[in-house]
A = this chain, B = another copy of it.
Amino acid sequence: MAEAFLDRSINVTMIDMTPQLMATLDKDMADIILEFMTKQQVKVCLNEKLIEFEKNDDGSVKSLITDKQTIPADIVILGIGVKPNSELAARAGIKLGAKEAIQVNNRLETSVPNIWAAADCAESFHLITKKQVHNALGTVANKHGLVAGINISGGMAEFTGVLGTVITKFRELEISRTGLSEKEAKELGFDYEAQTIISASQAGYYPGSEKISVKLVVNKQSQQILGGQIIGFNGSAKRIDIIVTAVTAGLTVQQLIDLDLAYAPPFSTTWDPVQIAARQFV
């Protein structure tokens, strides 16, 4: 929305009560987005809480009042999160699980035999934490639908799990993440190591080569990759799929370094930035 408003020359102020943008990223990575949005003339107010709206006489919004200031506004957009719509299931006696999403097994059957749940109302197994989570995303919903559909019609399919993969962009800045962030690894008590590198999305001399930052979180004992975060320009973010595949397959940093990834100057540096990040651990 901020991007769309800027394109229409509308001044944008973003207010977030947390200390960073995009809670699924580590703060050091999120700060790259903060810097870019600020440069693009979005006024970002962190650690700031919305208290109430002031209205004009006709009922339209006049300004919003935070715990720090009053901001005049013509349009207000609220991004207040996602919640599973599981009330009907609960009233029918079906058990709820993670974040009040409908509890399901790996075939997406609920606690009541022959009742199945799929997509944004249902929970998912997390491949690294081994816990059920609520992961309301289009990819997960689509896979859920396929698995539940096969099972409902008498087949045998399994939903193996999620890594919490996310990709998005603000103007030219591409952002992606998968698996555990450093923050999550710490909270969950993993013995981890984290490294961040800054490299180039293409060969440095190639027109359009831009900055890319890659952060990897690795299991200190097994050296297996637990997660990654990528922020950059010009083809940076979809590289997260290398990390998704490596994490799912249980690859170590050395195995990631050894991968015969694709290189030509218009597409990458000789060592892909993801491998440059992996090389920080050995």
Cα of A238 to Cα of B242 in the assembled complex, Å? 10
A260 touches B169 (CB 8 A): no
* Residue numbers in B under 8 Å from A168 (CB-CB): 264
Say whether A246 faces chain B, with CB atoms less than 8 Å apart: yes
| A81 CB, nearest partner CB in chain B, Å | 18
* Residue numbers in B under 8 Å from A159 (CB-CB): 258
A255 touches B248 (CB 8 A): yes
Say whether A277 faces chain B, with CB atoms less than 8 Å apart: no
* Residue numbers in B under 8 Å from A14 (CB-CB): none
| A228 CB, nearest partner CB in chain B, Å | 11
Say whether A222 faces chain B, with CB atoms less than 8 Å apart: no
* A264/B167 contact (C-beta < 8 A), A241-B272, A248-B255, A259-B248 known: yes
* Residue numbers in B under 8 Å from A263 (CB-CB): 137-139, 167
Interfacial residues of chain A within 157-206, with CB under 8 A of chain B in the complex: 159-169, 174, 176, 178
* A261/B235 contact (C-beta < 8 A), A248-B255, A267-B167, A271-B142 known: no
Interfacial residues of chain A within 243-280, with CB under 8 A of chain B in the complex: 244-246, 248-251, 255, 258-264, 266-268, 270-272
| A135 CB, nearest partner CB in chain B, Å | 9
A237 touches B258 (CB 8 A): no
| Chain A residues engaging chain B, CB cutoff 8 angstroms | 127, 137-140, 142-143, 159-169, 174, 176, 178, 235, 237-242, 244-246, 248-251, 255, 258-264, 266-268, 270-272
**What 4 pairs across the A-B complex have the smallest Cβ distances?**
A249-B249, A167-B262, A245-B245, A163-B260
